[in-house]
Amino acid sequence: MEESNQQEPTPLGDLGEFGLIQHLTEKIDIKHKSSVLGIGDDAAIISAGKGQKVVSTDMLVEGVHFDLLYTPLKHLGYKAVVVNLSDIYAMNAIPEQITVSLALSNRYSVEALEELYEGIQLACEIYNVDLVGGDTTSSQAGLVISITAIGEQEESKIVRRSGARENDLICLSGDLGAAFAGLQILEREKSIFESNQKIQPDLSGKDYILERQLKPEARKDVIQYFDQENIIPTSMIDISDGLSSELIHLSKASGIGVQVYEDKIPIDPSTVTTCEELNLSPITAALNGGEDYELLFTVSLDHHDKIKKLDGIQIIGHVTDAAAGCQLVTRDEKMVELKAQGWSGV
């Protein structure tokens, strides 16, 4: 074991609140012109810009949204940023700033927070966003992380949930169900570990699904592609709660129905294998699992050829009229009405 692993963790009290903030944020640099003033004053200053500002907040609570038994703090910091950026991309906007607010109990050490901030800063570099402020307070129980992301886009390019029209194509980036499958494996290994601490976790062959759960990415590349190809989706949403639930959101917001095809829904082979191993249906994992952070969007039929030639984007169905509801056409050509959660397969 390395020397540093044997050192006693530094209690938070050694630095105090101001010292801690200073310590965690001293290496942060500002990349965007729009970030006029970052950390250090009473408030950050962001220039108004030419377009519109898009703002989104997400809160992650220990024991509800994450379990530190199997979540490395660096991954947690990275994921906390990514899930927020995903919401900004889902508006077809470009994120430029984030703020990070933490509630901490004194069982966390300075070293643990350094790890969390390593993940936060890595995501800021990869996604080109500035950390411009936040808040730090104490908590009686676990860790709470709330992140606000601020993005920008020209008014005419912002995409809402409400613009889908009949006959539009329904499209999806990436594949679904893997983060859910990854979580089931982590939970299984946790309960085995709790019953016998001598058993080592068996995670072989699970790299992809574990990464999808522990270190997801937001689809910045898809937004860049839209820009290059002059595509403005008619509606868009990111998949945080499962495909079914997001399709229902689009249908309600746009006043339309949807028809999607089971055999068009992309699921990675390792997700299928894991679901079979756990006696779960892969299509249920895709429809109801969630935490995929893929983009679900509709485009007008004119964009069919541009969308078709793009790797990693799948056309999964089309928009119908509201009276038709939200329908899944199964592999054996039955129509099943999609529910926000709990459709349990055929």
* Contact residue for ligand ADP among 46, 82, 102, 260 (CB under 6 A): 102
CA dist 153 and 151 (Å) reads 7
CA dist 298 and 300 (Å) reads 7
Identify residue 274 by its one-letter amino acid code. Answer: T
Q: List the single partner that 21 binds among ligand ADP, Mg ion, none, CB under 5 to 8 Å by kind.
A: ligand ADP
Q: Which stretch binds Mg ion (CB under 5 A): 62-70, 128-136, 197-205, 324-332?
A: 128-136
Report the residue number, 15 or 203, with the smaller CB distance to ligand ADP. 15
Q: Which stretch binds ligand ADP (CB under 6 A): 85-93, 133-141, 162-170, 172-180?
A: 133-141
Report the residue number, 40 or 255, with the smaller CB distance to ligand ADP. 40
Q: List the single partner that 280 binds among ligand ADP, Mg ion, none, CB under 5 to 8 Å by kind.
A: none
Token representation of residue 70: 């199997």
Beta-carbon contacts of 20 under 8 Å, excluding residues fewer than 6 positions away, are 12, 110, 113, 136
77 is an interface residue for ligand ADP by CB under 6 A: no
* Contact residue for Mg ion among 111, 135, 263, 321 (CB under 5 A): 135
Q: What angle do CA 303, 308, 309 make, to 5 degrees?
A: 110
What is the smallest separation between the CB atom of 118 and Mg ion, expressed in angstroms? 22
List the strands of the sheet with 256-261, edge to edge.
235-238, 295-299, 169-173, 313-321, 256-261, 326-329, 335-337
**Residue count at the site for ligand ADP (CB under 6 A)?**
13
Q: Which residues bind ligand ADP (CB under 6 A)?
A: 21, 25, 39-42, 100, 102, 131, 133-136
Interacting residues with Mg ion (CB under 5 A)? 135
